[in-house]
Structure 1
Amino acid sequence: MARLDTHALVRTWDILPSRGHTTAWAELAGGRLRARGRAVGLEPAPYWLAYELETGPDYVTRRLSVTVETHDTTIGLDLRRDDEGRWTGDGGPRPDLDGALDCDLGLCPLTNTMPVLRHDLHRRPDAGARDFLMAWVSVPDLAVSADRQTYTPLGQAPTGARTIRYESDDFRSDVIFDADGLVVDYPGLATAVPGPRP
């Protein structure tokens, strides 16, 4: 059996609302994504966060495990989606998330990647608007809720990257993605930190 080529990526972002930053180490292979990440934030109070993310085929979420530590508490979340599309949170059923393919971890630009890659939105400016139901996880409290979002490709950015409009309820932001489908600039939320020069 041929081994699938793995594309390894590392990205760090400054996170504006938390006055912190986050780093993701990701591997893409055969339409699947595996990642782990760390984040620190100062707002609403200092916290440290760690997560692991695994998808199945077509970048559909299988599992998101998150831990948040503050000065006096540690909380965790184990969010899973099975092959029938049923979600559980910490082992309990979450029928309100039925129909969602993706998790969306708050203040984590990496989790914007899965729907973009699945529908090739960063390469198809003519793809039109796509509506999604997400399993949205707020940070730092790790509350989970169903969230409807729309992604609309707008075309090429001045840098050659692609701009995709993100909308959820009354919030809207024109987000720039690179050729790997990762966020470069998310106005109001995150900015990628330039990596070392080769």
Structure 2
Amino acid sequence: MPAITWEVFASRGFETAWPELGGGVLRARGRAVGFAPEPYWVTYEVDTADRFVTRRLRVTTESADEVRALDLLHDGQGRWTANGESLPDVDGALDCDLGLCPLTNTMPVLRHRLHRAPGEREFLMAWVSVPDLAVRPSRQTYTHLRPGRVRFTSGDFRSDLEFDDEGYVVDYPQLATRLTAR
């Protein structure tokens, strides 16, 4: 499994992911180091079910003062739990979005082939902030601009992302850029 590494401008750090794609399923593990808002490490694993619908995200962050862990589960029926606690604010979401992690933009883009075909889709995401691992609802819109180019919008934020043929982020202006080729 080849690695993908991004320089993450937003955290003044780096992330490496080891993804596996096949049969409409994505599995990946990754590690990141960031320096903003404070120095921290992130370790994560993400697993999807059919059609790239998030099944589980496990994340651990470590800073000078503490270690935090999150086990985010989707039941396949639109309901989520975080460390066993129900999360009704994100009911109906199909995907997680790990903050500052370009990999988690892959699932909705692949499911709707937005990196290859025209379309616009709005999603509710179970957004996980880093490094505190709080889970919040996030409305996001992905719009196909041309092959390999997708506009991401959430609230007042907008960025035109570049994806490779497999659906992985190559360039995410204001957030990250890929350092290694697949």
TM-score (structure 2 length as normaliser): 0.97
Aligned residues: 182
Among candidates 49, 58, 66, match of residue 65 of structure 1: 58
Counterpart-to-counterpart distance in 1, 2:5 and 2:87? 31
Counterpart-to-counterpart distance in 2, 1:112 and 1:165? 11
| Residue 140 of structure 2: aligned partner | 149
1:107-118 correspondence to structure 2 within 5 Å:
107-118=100-111
Q: Which runs of 4+ in 1 moved over 3 A?
A: none
Among candidates 68, 77, 84, match of residue 70 of structure 2: 77
Aligned identity (percent) is 62
Give the root-mean-square deviation of aligned CA atoms: 1.1
The answer to whether 1:19 aligns with 2:12 is yes
1:111-130 correspondence to structure 2 within 5 Å:
111-124=104-117, 126=118, 128-130=119-121
Pair 83,152 (structure 1): closer, same or farther in 2 beyond 3 Å: same
In the TM superposition, residue 84 of structure 1 has moved relative to its aligned partner by 1.9
Counterpart-to-counterpart distance in 1, 2:181 and 2:77? 39
In the TM superposition, residue 17 of structure 1 has moved relative to its aligned partner by 1.1
Unaligned ranges ≥5, structure 2: none
In the TM superposition, residue 9 of structure 1 has moved relative to its aligned partner by 4.2
| Residue 159 of structure 1: aligned partner | none
1:30-179 correspondence to structure 2 within 5 Å:
30-124=23-117, 126=118, 128-156=119-147, 162-179=148-165
Among candidates 160, 176, 182, match of residue 190 of structure 1: 176
Counterpart-to-counterpart distance in 2, 1:183 and 1:29? 17
Counterpart-to-counterpart distance in 2, 1:185 and 1:144? 25
TM-score (structure 1 length as normaliser): 0.89
1:182 aligned partner, one-letter code = Y
In the TM superposition, residue 29 of structure 1 has moved relative to its aligned partner by 1.5
Counterpart-to-counterpart distance in 1, 2:97 and 2:181? 25
Counterpart-to-counterpart distance in 2, 1:57 and 1:9? 22
Larger Rg: 1
